Amino acid sequence: MLTIATATAAFLAPPTAVRTRTMTPVMAEVVEMDAAVLDRYMSLPHSGKVQAEYIFIDADGDVRSKCRTVDSDKATVDQLPSWNYDGSSTEQAPGQDSEVIIKPRAVFLDPFRPGENILVLTDTYTPGGTPLPTNSRAPAVEAFKGTDEKPWFGLEQEYTLFNIDKITPLGWPAGGYPGPQGPYYCGAGADRSYGRAISEAHYKACLFAGLEIAGTNAEVMPGQWEYQIGPCVGIDAGDQMMISRYILKRVCEDFGVHVTLDPKPMPGDWNGAGCHTNFSTEKMRKAGGLAEIELAIKKLGAKHQEHIEAYGEGNERRLTGKYETADINTFSYGVANRGCSIRIPRQTDTDGCGYLEDRRPSSNCDPYIVTAKVFNTCTDPDGVVGDFTRTDVEQVA
């Protein structure tokens, strides 16, 4: 017989079976928001004030952000205040002392809010002023400081679009595969181009923000795209790449599509994703610069393993010697050869000056680490010069 006492005890007892049950986290596939309703508010004026979206980099190298209001006449990088965030939520600080200080380093126009609102790139510090271990920008600044080499970088960011389930690439049949690679690269048509709206929106947003975005194209694997940032000088290359990645994530958020920088998002006979890094100094760009380029390449080869270790996570799944890559364990270079570690463009070889392309960095690489490392190795006057022979592709008549 159930008494009031036993019923009360049963009600108050913790539901252990429910509380200890392990559940697989599942996110909603679609969260509907009416853009027309949002537009009513986004068009409201705010005289004398701007919204400043502070962008920072977490422990995994991903971009996050938070917003604050600043006076319009103080929305410049030299007048914007430092700020902070909860580093215990980003695995960058302990809970009992969780403040991470973020310092403004570059300002761009905000393509997601009308008016004079801004995106603020920051880097991260302890309250005592020491750069966090995850702050790769600070040492990159030191690497480029005081140089008269005038280093130019062009970064080719590849990325892959997925349905929000993070399982099916955009345009692929659920649980199946599309036709083999071939027609998708720079392709046009509903049967081969998946995600063009995202590429176009991202391109326009980057131009509006003031980034040196050079172009974009559909890549070899269906659902995969690329854009190019540069040429940029020194630290500006890493700054603009991080802002462009933030803009890409925001654009994909608006379209309800997942974007990944995984270097091999689909196993099998599909191209991976890289961040090919084009580099030159003033000497390389002038007449006779090809000799400087080859010297720099041989210095890169002498430190091949050191560079590989700094070029991104999961790169061993991509650098297999297949699908337009060189084997991760072997250094090589050649003119027009996309199967080499370093490619000398055909025009550079013809002109006798120009730039080199390091094809090893993965799509998820840290652009500050990569650009600083390429610069340091190539321009080191005491750098070891490896013994490597060019592996050229014969030019078609």
What is the rounded CA–CA span in Å between residue 284 and residue 108? 30
The CA-CA-CA angle for residues 355, 381, 132, to 5°, reads 85
Domain of 301, CATH number, reads 3.30.590.10
End-to-end CA distance of the chain: 97
Tell me if 387 is assigned to some domain.
no
Asked if residue 276 lies in contact with residue 265, where contact means CB atoms within 8 angstroms, the answer is no
**pTM, entire model:** 0.92
The secondary structure of residue 379, as a DSSP letter, is H
Residues 6+ apart with CB under 8 A from 256: 30, 31, 164
Do 292 and 253 reside in the same domain of the chain?
A: yes
Q: Which three-class secondary structure state does DSSP give residue 328?
A: coil
Tell me if 310 is assigned to some domain.
yes
Task: Report how many domains make up the chain.
Answer: 2
Do 131 and 155 reside in the same domain of the chain?
A: no
Tell me if 290 is assigned to some domain.
yes
Do 202 and 304 reside in the same domain of the chain?
A: yes
Do 225 and 324 reside in the same domain of the chain?
A: yes
How do the pLDDT tens digits run along the chain, 397 residues long? 444 444 444 434 444 444 444 555 666 667 778 888 999 999 898 899 999 999 999 999 999 999 999 999 999 999 999 999 999 999 999 998 899 999 999 999 999 998 999 999 999 999 999 999 999 999 999 999 999 999 999 999 999 999 999 999 999 999 999 999 999 999 999 999 999 999 999 999 999 999 999 999 999 999 999 999 999 999 999 999 999 999 999 999 999 999 999 999 999 999 999 999 999 999 999 999 999 999 999 999 999 999 999 999 999 999 999 999 999 999 999 999 999 999 999 999 999 999 999 999 999 999 999 999 999 999 999 999 999 999 887 666 6
Of the residues 135, 167, 202, the one at which a domain ends: 135
What's the pLDDT score for residue 397?
A: 60
Do 224 and 321 reside in the same domain of the chain?
A: yes
Tell me if 8 is assigned to some domain.
no
Q: Which two tokens stand for residue 368?
A: 């500050």
Do 350 and 253 reside in the same domain of the chain?
A: yes
Do 96 and 223 reside in the same domain of the chain?
A: no
What's the pLDDT score for residue 25?
A: 65
Conformational region of residue 175, where left means phi above 0, alpha means psi within -120 to 50, and beta covers everything else = left
Do 215 and 119 reside in the same domain of the chain?
A: no
What is the rounded CA–CA span in Å between residue 114 and residue 39? 10
Nearest to 122 by CA among 89, 99, 100: 100
Within a 10 A sphere around the Cβ of 379, how many other Cβ atoms? 18
What is the rounded CA–CA span in Å between residue 307 and residue 37? 49
Residue whose structure tokens are 């690329």: 226
Residues 6+ apart with CB under 8 A from 113: 42, 51, 53
Do 276 and 184 reside in the same domain of the chain?
A: yes
The radius of gyration computed from the CA coordinates of the chain, to the nearest angstrom, equals 24
Tell me if 61 is assigned to some domain.
yes
Asked if residue 58 lies in contact with residue 90, where contact means CB atoms within 8 angstroms, the answer is yes
Q: Which two tokens stand for residue 48?
A: 């004398």
Range of the structural domain that residue 241 is part of: 151-379
Tell me if 195 is assigned to some domain.
yes
